[in-house]
A and B are shown apart, each in its own frame.
Chain A
């Protein structure tokens, strides 16, 4: 019989507050195989670990059970301590008596017997624990960044500067993302392009960075250190090697389509670059708008192109590459506020979203940088900004605060006053939230120096009246109904997750919150990690975020990625599946369900009635197996076991709980 030691943690009052520790220790002494039981205020502390180590040596323990917090939290800590005392770390078992017991119960009379049951189960399992060894895995020294906005660009540059190769996959024809669409950035009013384009160029020219634009990730297989990624490079219809970026093609192109980059406020050509500073400066043919592709004639771009770079018959190219780590930085969308009937968005050209209004300031934007009404081209005299359109709205929108709207609205009101000095801005708000360095000061400047009227209340309806838009709102501080004859209305529409983010999450293996933003592994202590090892997130795909936070998070994700890439080997999973080939019937259901392609058929020879018999059975590659256990569940003959979680161990736990009462 093994010699088991049980150690119970008070976790301050976290456990001791609802579990009678003394009783639990006493009960533990009577579990089969237990020769030592003790408790301590904080087992995870240095002193607590020393207590375990000393007891292992003094009592010649060969199994250890710790009754503590979740194994997610401190299993590693205690296994390391056990290893330092000369025990194989997998001989230690965690009974989670905090998250699974003390935290979810209030009554000590109920929680104590439950904690004892959990400890008994862990002790019963520990008896059957075996020494395990984790395999070593090679690391592919290359990173993949999905998304080429400011987050992806920053992460890629940081990884490249650390000396590792990095590929950036961007869906659009150019990198730059949302930041490229902005005119100025708060609170310093830096020109957005002036600070972004140098970074875009730096990424493009860095010898370690490989930009893969107009491309999407289709499939990710493998695991940390060895992700095999399938990338679809969409047909540009332009040879990027020959193209010189002269721009004659899109000057001459006769066909037009709505510009995505300009939020649909203006037209671009069928062959186009999304914006003048595009990187790479190689046009793309929009085959849905191109006359040659839709009607079979035109071909003007081909005739005019000096280096003959147009390739009409180019096809999508799918290639596969291996990466050690993946950073997802796919950004955000702006909600379409047309569901808010009272604001009339989409029914009048002078009612815009914040991002659309932003484009009016830009010299290459739809109005050439003139802030004018899109209905008649006149500069506006009164502009009403409405905050929280779809944000902080649990009835019809998103429950969360979009974080950036208060600041960009103040910025746009300031920029408006500078472009159109006679203009007057009104901001309907619920709360002004300006947490950030220099943010409060900036917003106050808008109110105090730029004469922006802040009205604490919301707008109930907007209706056109001749040339104007009558905004019917309220100032709740004075209790007065406010009616403004406005020339333009700007809606601070909520920042939302990309519509296809759940799909990408499925491909890469990241789960999302109820709004489809990607989940970090821990809201405070693991802000860029995900629950898939080797996959990190950065920027507004995690939650609405401003540029400084996005850049900081991107650099953080890059450090995590570099940390991984700098390792020669990674410790693999020790708890892997194992096939009892004598019992295996060779149905290979396990191969079909294995998400890591770790199971393959193998032919074995068996002695049978005096002769030998060849038959096919399943085999697990322990380097690929991640210990998910799907195969053990599907196996009809019960001949697959997961090391560390064998059927016998699980049943021993169940028996320990059920047969007691």
Chain B
């Protein structure tokens, strides 16, 4: 069990997001406020806890950063002024850059989908799942 948070993922995430997970005191308000926890395997505050403790491998397996819809409710509610959505974004970026490459591009969509989906959804989808 890694108990140091001086791992690469945490450092990179901090650099990407400008957020320090050690500022969190685990009140779990983010999890209580998050509208999509039902689909997550780890609750948002648990993701932060894993970051604090450096459980990098477990984080790599978790679907939570990918489920996060970036609605920013967590950031608006957080009493420690942490922006969780940015942290999730940071984790996603680290993962994508580390091994997987782009997860999702225009080639993955049918012409009808491309036709029907709003531009904004496409752009944010590409941003979320690509390098």
| Closest beta carbon of chain B to A463's beta carbon, Å | 12
Docked complex Cα distance between A206 and B38 (Å): 65
Q: Judge whether A397 is part of the interface by a CB distance below 8 angstroms.
A: yes
Contact flags (1/0) for B5-17 with A, using CB distance below 8 Å? Answer: 0000000000000
Docked complex Cα distance between A575 and B28 (Å): 58
Q: Which of A392, A461, A474 contacts B45 (CB 8 A)?
A: A474
Binds B, one of A172-180, A451-459, A513-521: A451-459
Docked complex Cα distance between A4 and B78 (Å): 61
Contact flags (1/0) for A389-413 with B, using CB distance below 8 Å? Answer: 0001111110000000000000000
Most chain A CB atoms below 10 A, which of B27, B38, B42, B73: B27
Q: Judge whether B51 is part of the interface by a CB distance below 8 angstroms.
A: no
Q: Judge whether B19 is part of the interface by a CB distance below 8 angstroms.
A: no
CB within 8 Å for A458 and B29 given contacts A395-B78, A395-B79: yes
Contact in complex: A458, B80 (CB < 8 Å): no
Contact in complex: A457, B28 (CB < 8 Å): yes
Which B residues lie within 8 Å of A396 (CB)? 79
| Closest beta carbon of chain A to B125's beta carbon, Å | 26
Q: Judge whether A296 is part of the interface by a CB distance below 8 angstroms.
A: no
| Closest beta carbon of chain A to B79's beta carbon, Å | 4
Docked complex Cα distance between A76 and B45 (Å): 54
Contact in complex: A481, B37 (CB < 8 Å): yes
Q: Judge whether B26 is part of the interface by a CB distance below 8 angstroms.
A: yes
Interface size of B by Cβ–Cβ distance < 8 Å? 22
Docked complex Cα distance between A306 and B72 (Å): 66
CB nearest neighbor in B for A457: B28
Contact in complex: B81, A458 (CB < 8 Å): no
CB within 8 Å for A476 and B80 given contacts A460-B33, A460-B34, A461-B33: no
Contact in complex: B45, A476 (CB < 8 Å): yes
Q: Judge whether A267 is part of the interface by a CB distance below 8 angstroms.
A: no
| Closest beta carbon of chain A to B42's beta carbon, Å | 8
Q: Which of B26, B27, B42 contacts A388 (CB 8 A)?
A: B27
Which A residues lie within 8 Å of B43 (CB)? 474, 476, 479, 481
CB nearest neighbor in A for B79: A393
Contact in complex: A479, B80 (CB < 8 Å): no
Q: Which of B27, B46, B73, B81 contacts A479 (CB 8 A)?
A: B46
20 of the cross-chain contacts (CB-CB < 8 Å) are A393-B79, A394-B79, A394-B81, A395-B78, A395-B79, A395-B80, A430-B26, A459-B29, A459-B32, A461-B33, A472-B32, A474-B29, A474-B32, A476-B27, A476-B31, A476-B46, A479-B42, A479-B46, A481-B38, A481-B43
Known: A460-B33, A474-B45. 13 other contacts (CB 8 A): A394-B79, A395-B78, A430-B25, A458-B27, A459-B32, A460-B30, A460-B31, A460-B73, A460-B77, A472-B32, A474-B43, A476-B45, A479-B46
Per CB-CB distance, the 5 closest pairs between chain A and chain B, nearest first, are A460-B32, A460-B33, A393-B79, A458-B29, A476-B28
